[in-house]
Structure 1
């Protein structure tokens, strides 16, 4: 479903590096530099970089507090799903109008106000199910590994010589551009769709929520409520076909007429 490119950690990292200044926390940059310096980026390194990134992302965005109606709604929606596939999850709402949601390799799930305003409870579960599917399927880990091990990315990070303050804004922007351009394959997107479908079916939700979430995004096209619409519209023009695939499968499974 590729909401804002569905890159999980990468979606978190982009705003961090594009706005980075010399006061970027050393712990995050150190985690990145340790990751790119190793011959093989481990799952633990991916999770650690994700943890560090989500901390900074949370600090730079308006997070709904515990008593906020958006938080209360999200907590109710996910009350049965604080662990999926053995991965502990934590959920927060960003009170910004963008139509977006993402999950990171460490199990952090962030849902944007604009998406919550647009979707029903089941549709939100379908969106989150797709995003979590990429994590469970290791798509986000593999994408991050490819990005971190790219020579251009190594050079940009290594040029800081271990000192965050020496990393120029242009170098960080170059790192962001590389990560932002990374994409999942059609097969990976289909597998994430299937994960979401199976998640909904397994837990007794309407699987058609996955189809209607596609259809709502396709209808929105250029934007919603003053916020930025998910890039699924531009990067996946076959949204209607994917919605129809869900509907066809539901019929075969006897879950729809």
Structure 2
């Protein structure tokens, strides 16, 4: 048995049985007694998982074990970045629980939430995304934590037969079974399609409560799509499970729709073009690592927040910059293009009035 699982089982036993509960030893019993033992075991599972997920002790144990499993990238700059973003996101009134985050030395784009409110973010994710995009990925994982998706899934996986087996196997056997369930969920990140969609939805709300660009939501999904195609599979084991996540293109579309609704139905993006009050005002162009689509999302994200806050005003041009007040909306390819974008936005604002 792997060392991390041994520690996990020990933690499950310590946290689950530390309250004075006990598991009855195997003995001859009537069917009613066996069913009663099974029900008691399911209650034990619920209590043990709650302790692991809700307590400071459980969080510390899971942080230690998860770091041991994935490795830990000991880089102060990377750690400071995820700590700063997490702290900003936790200021949202939607976030009721406390989280910890660490960095995994893995070049793949991935992040995950596990038991104990522990979040992990790969170096590959941090290197591929700016703060606005990374903030949405982390907000999505907080969504899983707020909904307690792992805990609910693990509880559902414990059927009556398993519970009866736990009841008749004693404390050590029960702890091993519980540790195995936790290990499976840590390893495979078993989320349903509905849970993923709900985490996307709450993640956007949390992002909107922060100062980050709302366009980071669809743009982060565009980063993932550019590398992995239309299906992206989270999880430590990277086991292909094509039905547990929405298509990445659908996640992009849904986040664009959320921006549109947030902007009071004033800002939209279609085919890499930003629309303000149904008038085309900016078509994205590639710049650096940002594709034309990503740049359109980020410009739309700025306009959407301003529209939501009723702060849309006439734009001006400063060199290649299109400005709305003191905010730079976009850096155009040249001054002439900046003037065209500025004029288009001002015309759209006039039409709205």
TM-score by length of 1: 0.69
Distance 1:134 1:69 in 2: 26
Specify the alignment match of 1:11 in structure 2. none
Please give the residue correspondences for 1:107-256 in structure 2 after superposition, counting only pairs within 5 Å.
107-147=117-157, 149-151=158-160, 154=163, 161-163=170-172, 176=183, 183-221=190-228, 235-236=244-245, 238-254=247-263, 255-256=267-268
Larger CA deviation: 177-186 vs 190-199: 177-186
Gaps of 5+ in 1: 1-16
Distance 1:236 1:183 in 2: 10
Distance 1:178 1:109 in 2: 14
Larger gyration radius, structure 1 or structure 2: 2
Paired residue total: 233
**Deviation digits for residues 15-74 of structure 1 (CA, Å, limit 9, x no counterpart):** xx7665667662334446779834261433543556533321223443233x53211322
Distance 1:177 1:56 in 2: 14
Q: 1:90 and 1:20, CA in 2 relative to 1: closer, same or farther beyond 3 A?
A: closer
Distance 2:88 2:133 in 1: 16
Specify the alignment match of 1:4 in structure 2. none
Q: 1:23 and 1:221, CA in 2 relative to 1: closer, same or farther beyond 3 A?
A: closer
* Residue 64 (structure 1) aligned with residue 73 (structure 2): yes
Q: 1:70 and 1:101, CA in 2 relative to 1: closer, same or farther beyond 3 A?
A: same
Distance 1:174 1:132 in 2: 22
Distance 2:16 2:51 in 1: 12
| Contact 2:62–2:118 (CA under 8 A) maintained in structure 1 | no
Q: 1:24 and 1:242, CA in 2 relative to 1: closer, same or farther beyond 3 A?
A: closer
> How far did 1:130 drift?
0.8
Larger CA deviation: 231-240 vs 138-147: 231-240
> How far did 1:114 drift?
1.6
Specify the alignment match of 1:6 in structure 2. none
Specify the alignment match of 1:74 in structure 2. 82
Larger CA deviation: 235-244 vs 78-87: 78-87
Q: 1:238 and 1:81, CA in 2 relative to 1: closer, same or farther beyond 3 A?
A: closer
* Residue 94 (structure 1) aligned with residue 126 (structure 2): no
> How far did 1:144 drift?
2.2
**Deviation digits for residues 113-158 of structure 1 (CA, Å, limit 9, x no counterpart):** 12111221111111111111122123232112213x2356547767
Structure 1 residue corresponding to 2:11, chosen from 27, 51, 55: 27
Gaps of 5+ in 2: 23-39, 269-274, 276-353
Structure with a larger share of its residues in strand? 2
